Amino acid sequence: MTQTYAKIIGTGSFVPNEPITNDMLVERLAKNGIETSDQWIQERTGICQRYWANEGQTASSMGEIAARNAMEMAGISADEIDLVVVATSTGDMLFPSTACLLQSKIGAKKAAAFDVQAACSGFIYALTTANAMIQSGQVKTALVVGAEVISRLLDWNDRTTCVLFGDGAGAVILRASDEPGVLSCRIHSDGDLSHILHSKGVIYNGAIKGEPFIGMDGQAVFKNAVTLLGDVALEVLEDAQLPVEKLDWFIPHQANIRIIQAAAKRLNVPVEKVIVSVNEHGNTSAASVPLALDKAVRDGRIQRGQTMLLQGVGGGFTWGAALIQY
């Protein structure tokens, strides 16, 4: 019996509005008496600019544009989609899910739709879920989206977090195929680390209870991210019996250039094989990996038949990896 793989047949992405450069952010924060600089932000994070959604833009509206771009590349219509999974921590509403709103927007009438919440690892969790459903034969074609308006969770008086994040959406279309696609996926969690990265606000009797902003112990996040990304990369490489030298592209979660460089060094992946977009997008949480992937597919770096390692890490703590033949 031939094996069924989930194969990426289209990618798409979207970022809202004009870029906000570090200098523009410095000026904005200075009005609140908060001091930062382009030099500090670039040296510590590698971020040069980010994009922010305006009031009318949501995870589903940005996700729709990314999804339509991916569908166009794949050459499929909405009625061919059996499953819509959206990874987000900043969905349009509590319910219905952002995936259902997106399913309606694109007119994927026969698709099941649900959200996955695993913070910055969300896209890898969503991809892993869709891959399992394709491999089991339950669905043939899946739309997997990472979409965030994380700017709405930023405390503009906290310079340790508000300089890091941006908004955007990325999408892939996966289709059942007998040609190799997703080769191996692994996802993990450790809720004992929930205190190092969180956004605690909840709706309670008509009011917000708890801090509705991102809170982070930056150094603890840094250390855990590097270790866990290294561990899970080895897991999927071993599972697929692929030596790391055979890897063509490494697309880790785009949180911070220093985390990306440390993870690549730990794995022995040369810098030329690392796809970086954190400089352009900032940290877009669940959207970061599909945004970086789409960029590298569209600029011609990633070619059919090449192997790539996608990775997520973030609040929960959650982390995961997907090894894929494009």
Catalytic residue ranges: 120, 253, 283
Site size for ligand ACO (CB under 6 A): 25
- Relative to beta strand 249-251, strand 307-314 is parallel
Q: Binder to ligand ACO among 128, 256, 277, 311 (CB under 6 A)? A: 256
Distance CA 326, CA 324 (A): 6
Distance CA 244, CA 229 (A): 14
- Relative to beta strand 83-87, strand 112-116 is parallel
Asked if 230 is part of the footprint of ligand ACO (rule: CB under 6 A), the reply reads no
Among residues 289, 286, 251, which one has the least CA distance to residue 116? 286
Asked if 283 is part of the footprint of ligand ACO (rule: CB under 6 A), the reply reads yes
Stretch that binds ligand ACO, among 5-13, 33-41, 232-240, 298-306 (CB under 6 A): 33-41
- Angstrom CA distances, 236 to 104, 229, 239, 284, 305, stand at 35, 11, 5, 24, 18
Tokens of 145: 């989206």
Report in angstroms how near the CB of residue 267 gets to ligand ACO at its nearest. Answer: 17
Asked if 40 is part of the footprint of ligand ACO (rule: CB under 6 A), the reply reads yes
Asked if 135 is part of the footprint of ligand ACO (rule: CB under 6 A), the reply reads no
In degrees rounded to 5, what are phi and psi of residue 270?
Answer: -65, 150
Asked if 221 is part of the footprint of ligand ACO (rule: CB under 6 A), the reply reads yes
Asked if 218 is part of the footprint of ligand ACO (rule: CB under 6 A), the reply reads yes
Asked if 177 is part of the footprint of ligand ACO (rule: CB under 6 A), the reply reads no
Angle, CA of 146, 325 and 59, to the nearest 5°: 5
Distance CA 38, CA 52 (A): 18
Asked if 45 is part of the footprint of ligand ACO (rule: CB under 6 A), the reply reads yes
Which of 143/226 has CB closer to ligand ACO? Answer: 226
Asked if 262 is part of the footprint of ligand ACO (rule: CB under 6 A), the reply reads no
Q: Which residues bind ligand ACO (CB under 6 A)?
A: 36, 40-41, 44-45, 120, 159-160, 163-164, 197, 216, 218-219, 221-222, 225, 253, 255-256, 258-259, 283, 313-314
